[in-house]
Amino acid sequence: MTAAITLIEEASRQTLLVTPPPSGFSLAGSLQVPGDKSISHRALFLGSIAEGQTVIEGLLLGEDPGSTAACFRALGAEISPLNSQQVEVQGLGQDRLREPIDVLQAGNSGTTLRLILGVLASQPRGFFALTGDASLRSRPMARVIQPLEAMGAKIWSRRGGYAPVAVQASPLKPMHYHSPIASAQVKSCLLLAGLGIEGETTVQEPYLSRDHSERMLKAFGADVLREPECHRVTVVGPARLQGQHVVVPGDISSAAFWLVAGAITPGADLLIENVGVNPTRTGVLEVLQAMGAQVELLNPRQVTGEPVADLRVRYAPLIGCTIAGGIIPRLIDEIPILAVAAVFATGQTVIRDAAELRVKESDRLKVMARELSSLGARLEELPDGLVIQGGQESLQGATVDSHADHRVAMSLAIAALRSRGCTTILGAQAIAISYPDFVNTLRQICGVPL
Ligand code: S3P
């Protein structure tokens, strides 16, 4: 038996069939992951509201940054065709966005919709209507609408705070907001609103969430005061941003799939080049190392204000662990793939304080519990996490579903590498949201011809 990785397309749906390489085949080689999704969004945001030209190298070509670019084009920014070499953005200046003649479409992207609400609410003029796909329309927007309203914003939404939403530009006042959740999307939305307001806008969160906005705002010339020890950041407005040259590093959330593939496959030795290792994102490395994985950071360097390294992972037996508390925001998107690692670790893994996963692109706690169980894993859902019984030699290939969630689809594809027979992943088209080349890289490391 050899590995087989087949993608079947029917209308707009894709099904991914994964039959793993035979035991004895070791995953090996070096690979690259696409540009960081969070940094790609922010480069398009800040480039569009800055003055002058921004050049972006290494932009993620996934559907999510595509949604951000489409929104800003409709608002008047000139953005060259998206590609991963070089994208040029002619910014309009913070307060000169144009009222679009139609509804803005954020697609599947929570980052696009939540961050843009901050930009639009603080415009001097204009009416803006926004919506997204079925998943995005079921995700909570009240977490940004409420603080924006407290600043004076005029926003309408469906009952309970769901998209479609509409914003009427109105004068805002600055505020000090204590966010009940550690969310980079909430923090970034309010900081972007603060750019257009006279005075200090401060966001304080229970734990530090990813800080790409703070870093990039500083690089674009905003007056940003950071107090990371008390999880607080302040922007002083009004700010005039100046276009910059941004080099986007590889996405650690995409690298996480290969890190886990390497960590659970006997004999594996993978090198993942050029990965962003911002400390607010590296929880996945710390957890894998605590589980006994051999993960090394090589050639550490700084690339436009973000730490970057090459990551080498080699197989070693894993042991279960507890993942909870302040580390959760630092690995929030990696919990589905860490659940896969836990299945093959000896002992039990407990994930707590992760209720936020219920309002991601899918209810990731429910969906991962259900789909991994279909493959024969033993795990239980908690209100805010998962309990995973490890020690599994292998899973049993079966038909599973992505529930239209890119990270669920890719996590299940990695689980399939240690399953007997063929695993069929329905809804694989979701992968294009953040990692269009995932299936080719999977083929590459499994020795399947492209
Ligand atoms: C993101 C922040 C995180 C993360 C999402 C991207 C960002 O969401 O889950 O994939 O780019 O700001 P929250 O900040 O809402 O947890």
pLDDT in tens, the chain (450 residues): 689 999 999 999 999 999 999 888 889 999 999 999 999 999 999 999 999 999 999 999 999 999 999 999 999 999 999 999 999 999 999 999 999 999 999 999 999 999 999 999 999 999 999 999 999 999 999 999 999 999 999 999 999 999 999 999 999 999 999 999 999 999 999 999 999 999 999 999 999 999 999 999 999 999 999 999 999 999 999 999 999 999 999 999 999 999 999 999 999 999 999 999 999 999 999 999 999 999 999 999 999 899 999 999 999 999 999 999 999 999 999 999 999 999 999 999 999 999 999 999 999 999 999 999 999 999 999 999 999 999 999 999 999 999 999 999 999 999 999 999 999 999 999 999 999 999 999 999 999 988
Is 38 close to ligand 1, i.e. is its CB under 6 Å away? yes
pLDDT in the model for residue 26:
85
CA 79 / ligand 1 centre spacing (Å): 24
The reported pTM is 0.98
Please, are residues 156 and 130 in contact by the beta-carbon 8 Å criterion? Answer: no
Structure tokens at 137: 């329309």
Q: Is 54 in the pocket of ligand 1 (CB under 6 A)?
A: no
Domains of the chain: 4-35+249-446 (3.65.10.10), 37-247 (3.65.10.10)
Q: What SS3 class is residue 270? A: strand
Atom of ligand 1 nearest to the CA of 184: 14
The H or E element containing residue 232 is strand 232-237
Place of tokens 């790409």: 212
Q: In a 3-state reduction of DSSP, which class is residue 220?
A: coil
Distance 182 CA to ligand 1 centre (A): 10
Residue 149 beta carbon below 6 angstroms from any ligand 1 atom: no
Judge whether 250 and 274 are in contact, CB under 8 Å: yes
Beta strands, E only, 262-412: 269-276, 294-303, 306-314, 322-323, 348-351, 378-382, 385-389, 395-396, 399-401
Distance, CA 208 to ligand 1 centroid (Å)? 12
Probe residue for ligand 1, chosen from 111, 113, 189, 190 as the CB with the greatest number of ligand atoms within 8 Å: 111
Question: From the CA of 185, how far away is ligand 1's center (Å)?
Answer: 5
Q: Which atom of ligand 1 is nearest to the CA of 37?
A: 11
Query: What residues are paired with 426 via a beta bridge?
Result: 15, 401
Residue 341: partners with Cβ closer than 8 Å, 6 or more residues away: 260, 263, 264, 288, 291, 293, 318
| Ligand 1 binding pocket includes 332 (Cβ within 6 Å) | yes
Sheet of 232-237: strand order equals: 176-178, 199-204, 232-237, 223-227
Pairing relationship of beta strands 395-396 and 419-420 according to DSSP bridges: parallel
Query: Are the C-beta atoms of residues 407 and 337 closer than 8 Å to each other?
Result: yes
- Whether 223 and 201 have beta carbons less than 8 Å apart is answered as no
Q: Would you call 172 helix, strand, or coil by DSSP?
A: coil
Regarding the beta carbon of 40 and ligand 1, being less than 6 Å apart is answered no
pLDDT at 1: 63
Residue whose CB lies within 8 A of the most ligand 1 atoms, among 60, 115, 183, for a mutation test: 183
List all residues 6 or more positions away from 118 whose beta carbon is below 8 Å from its beta carbon. Answer: 144, 148, 188, 189, 190, 191, 192, 193, 194
Helix axes 335-343, 364-374, angle to 10 degrees: 30
CA of 85 to the centre of ligand 1 (A): 25
Distance between Cα 127 and ligand 1 center (Å): 26
Q: Which is the closest atom of ligand 1 to the Cα of 38?
A: 11
Ligand 1 center–CA 212 separation, angstroms: 11
- Take atom 11 of ligand 1 and give the residue whose Cα is closest: 38
133 catalytic residue (yes or no): no
Whether 356 is in the pocket of ligand 1, judged by its Cβ within 6 Å, is: yes
Gap from CA of 111 to ligand 1 centroid (Å): 6
Is the Cβ atom of 209 under 6 angstroms away from ligand 1?
yes
- Is 184's C-beta closer than 6 angstroms to any atom of ligand 1? yes
**Rounded-to-integer distance, Cα 319 and Cα 137, Å:** 39
| pLDDT given at position 2 | 82
CA atoms within a 13 Å half-sphere pointing along the CA-CB vector of 197? 28
- The burial class, CB within 10 Å (0-12 / 13-18 / 19+), for 136 is buried
Indicate whether residue 111 lines ligand 1 (CB < 6 A). yes
Q: Give me the catalytic one of 333, 401, 405, 437.
A: 333
Task: Using the atom order of ligand 1, give the atom closest to the CA of residue 360.
Answer: 9
For atom 16 of ligand 1, the residue with the nearest CA is 183
Instruction: For ligand 1, atom 10, name the residue with the nearest CA.
Output: 333
